Amino acid sequence: MSAAGRSRVRYEKKDHLAHVTLDRPEVLNAMDLRMHEELAGVWDDVEADDDIRAVVLTGAGERAFSVGQDLKERSRLDGAGTPRTTFGSRGLPGWPRLTERFTLSKPVVARVNGYALGGGFELALACDLVIASHDAVFALPEAKLGLIPGAGGAFRLARQLPLKTAMGYLLTGRSMDAATALHFGLVNEVADDEEGDLDRRVAAWTDDLVRSAPLSVRAIKESVMRSLDQPLEEAFATRYVWEERRMQSEDAVEGPRAFAEKRAPVWSGH
């Protein structure tokens, strides 16, 4: 099948873990409208399948996680008179995309290999954990292209970095290497320049995630993400759906019981 005809996304599930791969290596995993449409179905399935406890999101090939929006497609759309886009993806294929899927309760680990530019960087910023290759490069170059980081980059970078630092990268489109991203806490780990080290580090994190109680993980993610901009008093008083499920679950009993009996817990997810 030609590159134009095959799927843009590979989706595999095994041992409570989903692997989502942006699969257009010939264009450095640039995201076109069809890829976004395919990804929407993937995220729907991730949320609906209770057997999945965590997700690894990565890009095919060794050169790029993703270089963001397919600008050749955007140029064709502009030529056809298609309305230009601004912040968010409402009304476009794939909505809500991961960058706007605020209720996704499963943790997503970004496995960043090589370039994470524009929308690719925005995807990584929307993930819960980021493990980067030693040669990873991050940037939001939209200011150099007459565009904006409309998939949340302008908002998330200013929340995840000191404001002046974020503005420097946003207003100039300057790139950031993996060591700098680690320094600022944008990534959890940087792999060594050793074959297989990136995958080993990702596996270490996903193994820990899968061993954790699935309802606890979902409750923690929901409560953290919903309370980020709340005063503490309000955060304590907020109703969290996944915490209510966890509190009433069999797993909430199983954890302390397994500890008392000096054995590994067996999670039912109920």
Active site residues per annotation = 122, 142
**Of 27, 18, 12, the residue nearest 60 (C-alpha):** 27
Give the Cα separation of 95 and 117 in Å (integer).
Answer: 20
Give the Cα separation of 160 and 225 in Å (integer).
Answer: 13
The answer to whether the CB of 114 falls within 8 A of the CB of 64 is: yes
The answer to whether the CB of 13 falls within 8 A of the CB of 52 is: yes
Which of helix, strand or coil describes residue 115?
A: strand
DSSP code of 137?
Answer: E
CB atoms within 10 A of CB 127: 20
For residue 86, give both structure tokens: 């601004």
Give the Cα separation of 235 and 227 in Å (integer).
Answer: 5
Which of helix, strand or coil describes residue 189?
A: strand
Within 8 A by CB and 6+ apart from 142, the residues are: 118, 148, 149, 150, 153, 173
